[in-house]
Homo-oligomer: A and B are copies of this chain.
Amino acid sequence: MREITAEHLPDLARGAAVLGAGGGGDPYIGRLLAQRALGRHGPVALVGVDEIDDGALVIPTAFMGAPTVVLEKLPAGDELLAALRAVEELLGRRATHTVSLEAGGLNSMTPFVAAAEAGVPLIDADGMGRAFPELQMLLPTLGGVPASPMALADERGNAVVLRTADNVWAERLARASTVEMGCTAAVSLYVLTGRQVKDHMVPGTLSLCERVGRAVREARTERGDPVAAAAAVLRGRLVFTGRISDVLRSTRGGFARGTARLAGLSGDTGATLELSFQNENLVAARDGEVVVSVPDLICVLDTDTGEPVTTETLRYGLRVSVLGAPCDPRWRSPEGLALAGPGYFGYAHDYVPLSVTDVG
């Protein structure tokens, strides 16, 4: 167990946004919300998965919706606790712990808000090892854990509780409510036992986020290469450096969808990289050839500062470096690829695991 205070948050949020692979929300907003909660309620206890009992009652929270909208419609913050409490009320039991569902600038910070407000420890883990756009895309789904009972809450006091036939129906019905609530909602779902956290989640994600965030900051301070530093911690590799020449973005069906085109610089001069995204970066294609594909991570960083660039902040003229990083090996199984592989997102290419022979 370690205590997380406000001073830990900047590295954590930065690293979480890198692991968010373009999605998972804005790290600045995530950090502000967590800072405010820690300021009001004191530090949060971060515990390892090996420190929790198998019988622990773990209730996660997150924000759902289009990250483009979160930028304009700041969460009030107490929707998260409202969603958590709605699930507790259904179960007739209080959470003993909470946990992050995905790695992301917002959604790895909001669990600190929920932990601080509910007064429970936060488990150092997440459900994906990255961020994904749809809520059934969690390793616990592969492990047979139901997403529902699930609650959604908004800033007006509306609450929606779902019990669904399966996790895809949870996504469909929750997305419809989220869109109606104005394209963002606080959600609480995937109630887990301690045992299920150990069996089906990715351990150590928040510590990994912190190491990535710290590596970027230290490399910057020491005039080193922050992008290379992030790649080393992620065991990934640089796949492209370029300037954003084109961004096509629309917010449809509760998602931020689009493509961005990068004109190569340095070693990539003359080449073009196209990024396709649905909240998260899904495919990176160099001169028409896929070089990194979902479920592997495609992380866009500001080349100079190493700051993560989420899909909603991609903009013309920005000089960026694109990293590929391997996903959790469970995503590479046939079941994992069926749930969140390129075919699910409508791409025709087969998934080829990222080559990381040239790590570093």
Which A residues have a C-beta under 8 Å from some C-beta of B?
86, 156-165, 169, 172-173, 175-177, 179-181
Which residues of chain B have C-beta atoms less than 8 A from A158's C-beta? Answer: 162-165, 169, 173
Is B177 touching A173 in the complex (CB atoms < 8 A)? yes
Whole-angstrom distance from the CB of A163 to the nearest CB of chain B? 4
Instruction: Give complex CA distance A161, B176 in Å.
Output: 14
CA distance A157 to B164 in the complex (A): 7
Q: Which of B156, B162, B173, B179 contacts A165 (CB 8 A)?
A: B156
Distance (Å) between the CB of A313 and the closest chain B CB?
A: 29
Cα A157 to Cα B180 with chains together (Å): 22
Q: Tell me the smallest distance from the CB of A76 to a CB of chain B, in Å.
A: 13
A-B contact pairs, 28 of them (CB 8 A): A86-B163, A156-B165, A157-B164, A157-B165, A158-B162, A158-B163, A158-B164, A158-B165, A158-B169, A158-B173, A159-B162, A159-B164, A160-B160, A160-B161, A160-B162, A160-B163, A160-B173, A161-B161, A161-B162, A161-B163, A172-B180, A173-B177, A173-B180, A175-B180, A176-B176, A176-B177, A176-B179, A176-B180
Closest CB in chain B relative to A81 CB, distance in Å: 15
Evaluate contact between B169 and A156: CB separation under 8 angstroms.
yes
Residues of B contacting A164 with CB < 8 Å? 157-159
Nearest Cβ on chain B to A169's Cβ, whole angstroms: 5
Pairwise interchain contact A163-B159, C-beta atoms closer than 8 A: yes
Residues of chain B contacted by A159 (CB below 8 angstroms) = 162-164
Asked if B173 and A181 make an inter-chain contact with CB atoms under 8 angstroms apart, the answer reads yes
For the A-B complex with A159-B162, A159-B163 known, give 5 more contacts whose Cβ atoms are closer than 8 Å: A156-B169, A158-B173, A160-B160, A176-B179, A176-B180
A82 to chain B, nearest CB (A): 10
Kindly report which residue of chain B lies nearest to residue A175, judged by CB atoms.
B180
**Considering only CB atoms, which chain B residue lies closest to A89 in the complex?**
B90
Q: How far apart are the CA atoms of A164 and B158 in the complex, in Å? A: 4
Q: Smallest Cβ distance from A305 to chain B, in angstroms?
A: 41
Q: How far is the CB of A89 from chain B (nearest CB, A)?
A: 9
* Alpha-carbon separation in the docked complex, A86 to B156 (Å): 23
Q: Nearest chain B CB to A9's CB is how many angstroms away?
A: 32
Q: In the assembled complex, which residues on chain B have CB atoms less than 8 Å from the CB atom of A176?
A: 176-177, 179-180
- Residues of B contacting A163 with CB < 8 Å? 86, 158-161
Chain B residues in 8 Å Cβ range of A179? 176
Name the distance in Å between A162's Cβ and chain B's nearest Cβ: 5
A86, A159, A160 pick with most chain B CB within 10 angstroms: A160
* Complex CA distance for A9 and B179, rounded to whole angstroms: 41
Residues on B with beta carbons closer than 8 Å to the beta carbon of A181 = 173
For A86, what are the chain B residues with a Cβ–Cβ distance below 8 Å?
163
A156 to B172, CA, bound (A): 13
Q: With a CB–CB cut-off of 8 A, which chain B residues contact A175? A: 180
- Docked Cα-Cα span, A231 to B192, in Å, equals 61
CA of A165 to CA of B86, assembled, Å: 15
Task: List the 5 closest A-B pairs by CB distance, nearest first.
Answer: A161-B161, A176-B180, A176-B176, A159-B163, A157-B165
Q: Measured between C-beta atoms, what is the minimum distance from A159 to chain B in Å? A: 4
**Chain B: which residue is nearest A152 at the CB level?**
B173
Cα A159 to Cα B151 in complex, Å, equals 12
Chain B nearest CB from A262 CB (Å) reads 36
Closest Cβ of chain B: how far from A149's Cβ, in Å?
9
**Bound form: Cα–Cα A162–B180 in Å:** 13
* A35–B118 alpha-carbon span in the complex (Å): 51
